[in-house]
Every structure is written in structure tokens, then in C-alpha cells.
Amino acid sequence: MSITYKDAAGVQGMRTAGRLASEVLDHITPFIKPGITTKEIDQLAAQCMHKQGSVSATLGYQPNGYPPYPASLCTSVNHVVCHGIPNDKPLKKGDIVNVDVTVIKDGWYGDTSRMFIIGEASIAATRLVKLTYEAMWQGIMRVKPGVRLGDIGHAIQQFAESHGFSVVREFCGHGIGRTFHEEPQVLHYGKPGTLDELKPGMTFTIEPMINLGRRDVKEHGNDGWTIVTRDRSLSAQWEHTVLVTETGYEVMTLSAGSPPPPTFVHG
């Protein structure tokens, strides 16, 4: 599979899908508080998608070697790194949870995720969530024609490790468009000046998974999906879909409720 470059119509389709994915997160945000279950969050998201006229990309998604994914979104709580399946366990004060939404609208995919802190969390957990968000933006800021993917990964890795965190290596960002996962792979670590050169029309996700402890991960249980930190330390992740423009980048997964960029982005 080769990298796809989006024309004006494709860019518009991606903008719409990205905004709708973000609006699902806007919709569920007021409900995410102590006592709600991740399965209830999933149901709220499914209802929102139905009203939008979008479709979940994850429900029934089945890559080679995996069972069909059983939910409309992913919910990864505390030491779950990614692909957590919604369940009936209530969230409690102090938990952190990543909610990852991908919708399909008119054949285009929009993919984004946010972290949520349930009530008040520990200083360490709160710091991890904040700095993971900033790490994602350290990568986004590098996006422009002529830059290489290794430059993005290097910026994220340097930022995360400078704050004492570790970067998960087994999972990465990805190209996206009329299919869920396209080329290129977008690593969240790396060496400057390496890997693919960015060109206008490329669309891909930047979605670092950052651990409070060691970077090692493992599969949890036998559901075929859930990935956890090997040392059970907390993990956080944020995700945006970005477009390479003629002069820089455009974040395609923004909506009215999106958290603002860190001050260093435009400062």
C-alpha cells in the first residue's frame, strides 16, 4: 500500500469526518464522571453517531488475526495503553481514561481521542495527561512539507523522555483517508531526517501513547485487543488527524469542544 494524497474534495471529506469524530467526544464529555461505565459511554457515542449520520469504524473491525472489535469506540482506563473494550465497571474518582473515536462519513474516516480525568486524579496522573497532550502537539507543530516523519517522532520522544516518561513503541499513528489504516506509519520516537518526507495532501494521525513507568506493554486477558503496561504504570494517549498543507499543517479533528492547543503552539 502506498501513501495517498488527498485532493480538494478529499480534504473536505476528511474535514467533515474529523469534525464529526470530535463532536462525538464533545457529546459524551458531560457524562464522563464517577459512576458511569465505559459501556454507557459507548452507548452514548453510538447514539450520537446515529444522529450525525456517521458510522463507527471500530464496531466489527477485524484486522487479520484479531476477533471482531465489539464496540463503537475504545476506552482505555489507567494502565490500559490502547484498545480497551467498554465494559460494565463504573469509573471511579481518580481514574484516567482515553476515549478513542473513529467515524466514517461518506466513505471518509475521522480518528481522534482525548483523555478524561474522573473527578480529581493524583498529581502524577494529572501531569501525565497534560504532558502527553503537549507531546502530541510537539509532533503536530513539526508538520510541514519537506519535514520527515522521523522529525515528528524525535520531537515527541525528546519531549516525553525529558519529563521522565517513556514512549510506547509497539503502536503508532497511521495514514488515514478512505480506509482506516493507510501508509505511512507515524512513529512517536525516532531520528531526525529519517523516514518518509511530508508532502501536501498527506493525512495521518499523531497519537502518542506515553507511560508513567517503563515503555514495555503486553496483551491483557484473552479478548484479543486490550494492551496494558507491563509494570501496571499509568498510560495516557491523545490523538488528532492532521493534513499536510502547502505551508504547514491543518488539524482535521477539531470541534467546538476541542481542548485548546498548549500556549507554546502559537506563543
- Give pLDDT tens digits for 130-155: 999 999 999 999 999 999 999 999 99
- Decide if 30 is inside a domain: yes
pLDDT score recorded for residue 266: 80
- Decide if 2 is inside a domain: no
pLDDT score recorded for residue 13: 98
Average pLDDT over residues 78-84: 98
Average pLDDT over residues 159-168: 98
Residue 261 clears pLDDT 70, i.e. is over it: yes
Give which of 225, 249, 4, 241 is closest to 102, Cα–Cα.
Answer: 241
Question: How far out from the chain centre does Cα 207 lie?
Answer: 4
In CATH, what number is assigned to the domain containing residue 66?
3.90.230.10
- Decide if 192 is inside a domain: yes
- Decide if 195 is inside a domain: yes
Rounded Cα gap, residues 53 and 51, in angstroms = 6
- Decide if 1 is inside a domain: no
Give the dihedral of Cα atoms 19, 198, 156, 119; nearest 10 deg: 0
Residue 259 clears pLDDT 70, i.e. is over it: yes
- Structural domains counted in the chain: 1
- How far CA 192 is from CA of 14, 148, 183, 187, in Å, comes to 28, 7, 19, 12
Domain that holds residue 236: 8-266
pLDDT in tens, 170-207: 999 999 999 999 999 999 999 999 999 999 999 999 99
- Decide if 181 is inside a domain: yes
* Model confidence pTM above 0.95: yes
